[in-house]
A and B are shown apart, each in its own frame.
Chain A
Amino acid sequence: MPDAKEPETAVVAVEVSKVYKGTFRKGFQALDRLSLDVRRGEIFGLLGPNGAGKTTLVKILLDICRPTEGFTSLFGLDSRKVAARRRVGYLPEDHQFPGYLTGMTALELYGSMSGLPRASLRERSEEILAKVGLAEFARVKVRKYSKGMRQRLGIAQAIFHDPDLVFLDEPTDGVDPVGRRSIRDLLLELRGRGKTVFLNSHLLLEVELICDRVAILDRGRLLRIGPVEELTRSENEYRVRASGAAEEVLRIVREAAGNGEPDKEGVRFHAADEAGLDRVLDALGAAGHRIRELAPVKATLEDFFIRLVQDTRAAGGGPPPPHATGGPASGGRDPKSEIPHPRTEP
């Protein structure tokens, strides 16, 4: 359990900027004066489209790459110091284990390097492999593992030395639904034991299910940070289901509310106040439609995320898009195309 004397924050980033300088190319700004903190014992989600700077931030926090400006710390220690990484576990995105290692030897290698005593290596690796469902593949070479198995082994190595802070970059990537569920359970168990989890994920539903707080990044800037409930709080959106033709109902709602979108169960619309809501109900009643259901709609994190990113970009927020630039975080892709569609993600 963490020491009571320790700072309340597990992770601190202050005004962190990162510019990847190319020899022959224009530099690429991956992070722009980003500040955030992660509290001890929480599951923190970092969201953002591809190229937003999520992985760069994690790498800076682990001293895998260096910030151009700013300061970062882990449990109050400057994250550039080796000692700061003693209590940290990390699952990188697209990680690759050397193919010559077995599940067991991989854990022993990384566990030893994290300072785990030799005496406990074997016992601990058997325990963790069983936990992630790889017990029977402990002595199989990693090159024979499926993608999901490698992902589970990646999580195993991240938590192997019982770190107080775990960074997980896309932990459920390539894992089947059952595996995802068990990973979620594992993360909740970690939180239950007072561990801090820093989660990078595209799977917003997953983040919504388990994260205490989330931060949303786009083009290197922090757009929003806060508890999930706060971000997904209903914003005067309602769903109405009425008798009669669906097209007719939609038309009446749009005329009365000034907006409206059909969905599977009826029509969704915004009403700024009760008077606005009454106008819609009155209009439907006057047209002879019987109201079958009227309920407030709770926004999902996914909805919130997409709206926030799109609104920010429409308003011209954030640094210029990295079309003509390079750098490890950009991958040369247009971040807009990477925004997940609400209906394509589980």
Chain B
Amino acid sequence: MRTFWIILKDSFREAIDAKLFYVLAGFSLLLSVFCLGIGFRTRSYDEALRRVFDESQWDAAAFPMPEKGGGFGPIAPILRPSVDSLEESEGRYRVRLVLEHPEEFRAHVLRFGVDPAATETKSEDLLLLEGEKGFPSYLRRRLVQGGFIPSAVERKDPTTWVAVCKPTGEFRTEGAQSITWLFGLIELPLQGISGRNKIFEIQAVLANAIGGWIGVLIAIVVTAWFIPNLLRKGSVDLLLARPVPRWRILVYRYFGGLTFVFLNAALLIVGTWAGISIGTGFVQWGYLLCMVTITLLFAILYAVSCLVAVLFRNVVLSILFPVAFWFACFVITTGKRALDSPALNEMWDIPSFVKKGATVLYYIFPSTSDIGALNSWFMILGETDEGTLSMVKATLGKIDFAGSIASSLAFTVVVVALAAWLFHRRDY
């Protein structure tokens, strides 16, 4: 165990000497301050309620359709209800909505949304569909997301609906609050079905784009020097002459790289989490788990980097190979998802051996895209809103996360073991 700490300490010395640790830490700190400045500005109830039915909001949101597979239909932009009148009486609001293009909407639903063979409803009037997929139910959900409790949603005529509701006092919603930055100085032009959803989007950018993509890429470049430097002629001899098994030197060095990245990921995630929590009041514990996901993604790529370093002792190759491998994994995962999608299967008759081949590759190679998507699952843990929850479930619901993580971990262990075995066998 002592050797582990010694090598870990040495890895940190190397990383800190390159000044990149400070650069990355500084970047994380900057982002944390950025997040600390994020907040909400409360709107009036009147303004908030109008925003619930604002056309742009309807465009941004998708209307769940009783289509094949039960996903989201591409019809929200066509629905376009507008607020005809808004009256306030004893704390209750009466909103009169007018659907501007009901026929277009109906035609669209019939054409794209409904599979007559699959759906149980025989109703001609799709706007009257009951249950989760019906329009009245959707209207109610929108009002809840907007911070209002609906007491009645009625259809007055084929194009006019009336909803009665009252504000909940819950201001963490899209309609009731706008999102601001720099401690209220700038209003961010973020679209979202709720305030929580906007925070979700910001966290997704931080965890997936900044941490899981840019951060991992930088980490690959920084840590790619570790093993080739260790194996440099004249340097490796100093280590191999010690009474320490070779495999330990390599594996511990690998963990040194992982720890370096984990600490950086922790700085980024904990810092931004604290910033967002303090600034907005949203305390989303699940977001903290993203530091593990980022490290896991890096662990896969760093294992490839280590193997290449042992084989070639070349820094450039130790950077290029994992990046190319990452891209290959992305292609495999995306290809597998595409081959599984009903749309593609309807368009083409894909041979079964292609599907089987894609499945085999999917389970042999690590599913880096799935691991990135795991962040979204973590981010909806705890306090979340209905819309975000449905959106994440609809997007990621079919991913076999357990299988992806298991195959990725197995791949990483095999590659690191192979690198250690080669390191053990080679003459230096």
Contact = CB atoms under 8 A, between A and B. Distances in A.
Interface of A: 20, 59, 62-66, 82-83, 85-86, 88-90, 92-101, 105, 109-110, 112-115, 118, 157, 167, 328
A62 to B, nearest CB: 5
B232 interface: yes
Contacts of B13: 98, 100-101, 105
B237 A90 contact: yes
A97 B243 contact: no
Given A92-B237, A99-B17, A114 B428 contact: no
Nearest to B5: A112
B402 interface: no
B244 A82 contact: yes
Given A90-B237, A109-B6, 5 more contacts: A85-B241, A94-B234, A112-B2, A113-B3, A167-B241
A113 B234 CA distance: 17
B332 to A, nearest CB: 30
A172 B286 CA distance: 60
A167 to B, nearest CB: 8
Of A62, A64, A66, A157, chain B has the most CB atoms within 10 Å of the CB of A64
Contacts of A86: 243
Interface in B1-32: 2-3, 6, 10, 13-14, 16-18
Interface of B: 2-3, 6, 10, 13-14, 16-18, 229, 232-245, 427-428
Of A20, A66, A90, A112, chain B has the most CB atoms within 10 Å of the CB of A112
28 contacts: A59-B427, A62-B237, A62-B240, A62-B241, A64-B236, A64-B237, A64-B241, A65-B427, A82-B243, A82-B245, A85-B243, A90-B237, A93-B234, A94-B234, A95-B234, A96-B233, A96-B235, A97-B238, A98-B10, A98-B13, A98-B235, A100-B17, A105-B13, A109-B6, A112-B6, A113-B244, A115-B243, A328-B427
A92 B245 contact: no
B241 A88 contact: yes
Of A86, A109, A114, A118, chain B has the most CB atoms within 10 Å of the CB of A109
A295 to B, nearest CB: 46
Contacts of A115: 243
Given A95-B237, A96-B235, A85 B14 contact: no
A84 B238 CA distance: 16
A113 B229 contact: no
B243 A83 contact: yes
Contact of B242 (A99, A113, A328): A113
B234 A98 contact: no
Nearest to A143: B17
Contacts of B6: 109, 112-113
A115 B238 CA distance: 14
A89 B2 CA distance: 20
Nearest to A88: B241
B427 to A, nearest CB: 3
Nearest to A100: B17
B318 to A, nearest CB: 17
Of B10, B427, B428, chain A has the most CB atoms within 10 Å of the CB of B427
Nearest to B2: A112
A109 B240 contact: no
Given A20-B427, A65-B427, A328-B427, A96 B240 contact: no
A59 B16 CA distance: 32
A96 B231 CA distance: 11
B238 A66 contact: no
A196 to B, nearest CB: 15
A86 B243 CA distance: 5
B234 A90 contact: no
Contacts of A83: 243
Of B2, B232, B241, chain A has the most CB atoms within 10 Å of the CB of B241
B243 A63 contact: no
A176 to B, nearest CB: 21
A99 B235 CA distance: 11
Contacts of A98: 10, 13-14, 229, 235
A144 to B, nearest CB: 13
B10 A109 contact: yes
Of B17, B232, B245, chain A has the most CB atoms within 10 Å of the CB of B17
Contacts of B232: 96
A114 B238 contact: no
Contacts of B237: 59, 62, 64, 90, 92, 95
Contacts of A100: 13-14, 16-18
A64 to B, nearest CB: 5
A9 B165 CA distance: 96
Of B10, B17, B237, B244, chain A has the most CB atoms within 10 Å of the CB of B237
A126 B184 CA distance: 57
Nearest to A327: B427
A93 B235 CA distance: 10
Nearest to A106: B238
Contacts of B238: 90, 92, 95, 97, 110, 157
Contact of A97 (B16, B235, B245): B235
Contact of A64 (B10, B17, B240, B245): B240
A183 to B, nearest CB: 18
Contacts of B241: 62, 64, 85, 88-90, 92, 167
Nearest to A60: B427
A96 to B, nearest CB: 4
A82 to B, nearest CB: 5
A100 B11 CA distance: 10
Of B13, B232, B234, B238, chain A has the most CB atoms within 10 Å of the CB of B238
Contacts of B236: 64
Contact of A114 (B16, B234, B243): B243
A93 B13 CA distance: 25
Contact of A113 (B14, B239, B428): B239
A113 B238 CA distance: 10
A88 B242 CA distance: 8
B2 to A, nearest CB: 7
A324 to B, nearest CB: 21
A56 to B, nearest CB: 9
Those 7 A-B pairs whose CB atoms lie nearest each other, nearest first: A100-B17, A65-B427, A92-B237, A90-B241, A96-B234, A113-B242, A85-B243
A66 B242 contact: no
Nearest to A55: B237
Contacts of A105: 13
A63 B245 CA distance: 11
A38 to B, nearest CB: 16
A78 B231 CA distance: 24
Contacts of A62: 237, 240-241
Nearest to B241: A90
B14 A114 contact: no
Contact of A65 (B229, B233, B245, B428): B428
A96 B233 CA distance: 8
